[in-house]
Structure 1
Amino acid sequence: MRMTSMVAGLAVAGVCVAGPALAVDATQVTRKFSASNENLAPGLDVGVGFGGYTGKLGNETGVGGLFNITANAQPWEYIGLEFGYEGQNIPIDDARVLGGNHIWRNNGSGLAKLGPFIDNKWHPFVGAGFGLSFLHASQGSRPIYGNDWQVEWPLAAGIEYRMGHLSAGVRGTYRLVGGEDLTTIPGTTDEAKGSLFNGNLTVGGRF
């Protein structure tokens, strides 16, 4: 009985000592993952990168450079929104077409991002959204390639670093593509289909 009472007393004492310590740790964790007013402010990013199509469509095209400009909003601490334009020049690497031809991709997309702010500096995130692209094939690729509207569902992952009102980041975006009617698989009448994978660096500001 005496041993049981002693153990119970030590347990109660341990809880009393550990309770404030756990509370401090919880407070520190909350502060570590909280966002400042600067992080929640809307902003504007510009970016550059490269990428290209996958699948059968990727077999006939190459890797091309891109640029984008994006407006950002952070209506909730862990959920952000962005809307922007992306332009990309994708070279055509197809034996049916003379060299030097390309596809100019004009895209407008919206993306919802989910991720915490860490130490008010780091912002890792994942995102999903919807976009629409107009693909303009160069004149020298006709009639093998044609202009086309393309629906896209972007899935993104990346990380941003905040320096006060300034930010810099890196991300990769995999876009599921629908409605391809750009070209056919060589030797067939089947449409060449594929997804789109791009990577880019961004810099911007929060106001």
Structure 2
Amino acid sequence: MRQLSKMAGVVVVGVCIAGPAFAVDATQVGRKIGFNEQEVEAGLDVRVGLGGFTGDLGDETGIGPLFGITAVAQPAPLVGVEVGYEGQSVPIDDARVSGGNHIWRNNGTILGKVGPVLENNLHPFVGIGLGLSYLDSSSGSEPVYSNDWQTEFPMTAGIDYRLGNLFAGVRGTYRLVGGEELVTVPGTSDDAKGSLFNGNITVGGRF
């Protein structure tokens, strides 16, 4: 018990010493990336576009429209954060299913992005994040297609053009997809695998 008390004392002292040091380091990092809480910008954007699955999933589905709405924040000139919702209708093009069926994709994503501001209005960027989607197959596609949750790891690149508080942009997003149990490959019992690629245009505002 005495040894345990000594160890606990050492830990407490170490935390007391390290705490201020970490705080100083965090402040220095914030200064280096240009963080100033008085100048943090936030806003909303809406996006429309097209996209679809790749791989085995792409063989049995088509290209579908998407719509999204996203909350954005720019805590530093080079760093941005997005949290948003994206809905997409992906048509099913599978001989095992009658025509007119589709998959509704409902997605939530958080994404960090980096990129410089050029000539005060052009903002190229790249980003990476984490998302979760619920795939809801239309009733006419059952029992070939199921409803499914899938994790997504989006990687995006694009460019925004800003005019005052308004902006417009284009981007492409490639999403690595995990946990697919949506449908099997025709003639087998293997789950169809694939990724997801979407392209869209965005418009929004900052305040």
User: Do they fold alike, i.e. is TM over 0.5?
Assistant: yes
Task: List gaps (5 residues or longer) in structure 2.
Answer: 1-33
* Structure 2 Cα separation of the partners of residues 44 and 190 of structure 1: 41
* Structure 2 Cα separation of the partners of residues 74 and 50 of structure 1: 26
Matched residue, 1:49: 49
* Structure 1 Cα separation of the partners of residues 119 and 74 of structure 2: 17
Structure 1 residues 98-134: Cα deviation after superposition (integer angstroms, max 9, x where no partner): 0000000000000000101112100000000000000
RMSD: 1.6
Aligned length: 172
Matched residue, 1:73: 73
1:13-52 matches, within 5 Å, as: 40-52=40-52
Change (3 A) 1:40 1:118: farther
Matched residue, 1:110: 110
AA in 2 matched with 1:188: T
Matched residue, 1:184: 184
1:168-179 matches, within 5 Å, as: 168-179=168-179
SS of the equivalent of 1:74 reads strand
Query: Cα offset for 1:89?
Result: 0.1
Matched residue, 2:146: 146
Query: Cα offset for 1:77?
Result: 1.5
Q: Is the 8 A contact 1:48 1:202 kept in 2?
A: yes
* Structure 2 Cα separation of the partners of residues 196 and 120 of structure 1: 33
1:86-105 matches, within 5 Å, as: 86-105=86-105
Query: Cα offset for 1:76?
Result: 1.5
* Structure 2 Cα separation of the partners of residues 188 and 128 of structure 1: 34
Q: Is the 8 A contact 1:50 1:66 kept in 2?
A: yes
* Structure 2 Cα separation of the partners of residues 161 and 189 of structure 1: 48
* Structure 2 Cα separation of the partners of residues 121 and 182 of structure 1: 42
Matched residue, 2:4: none
Matched residue, 2:119: 119
Structure label with greater radius of gyration: 1
Structure 1 residues 74-101: Cα deviation after superposition (integer angstroms, max 9, x where no partner): 1122010000000000000000000000
Structure 1 residues 138-196: Cα deviation after superposition (integer angstroms, max 9, x where no partner): 00000000000000000000000000000000000000000000000000000000000
SS of the equivalent of 2:181 reads coil
* Structure 2 Cα separation of the partners of residues 57 and 47 of structure 1: 24
Query: Cα offset for 1:69?
Result: 0.2
AA in 2 matched with 1:100: G
Q: % of aligned pairs identical?
A: 67
Query: Cα offset for 1:41?
Result: 1.5
Query: Cα offset for 1:40?
Result: 4.9
* Structure 2 Cα separation of the partners of residues 165 and 79 of structure 1: 18
* Deviating 4+ runs (over 4 angstroms): none
* Structure 1 Cα separation of the partners of residues 40 and 62 of structure 2: 38
Matched residue, 1:156: 156
* Structure 2 Cα separation of the partners of residues 76 and 160 of structure 1: 16
SS of the equivalent of 1:45 reads strand
Task: List gaps (5 residues or longer) in structure 1.
Answer: 1-33
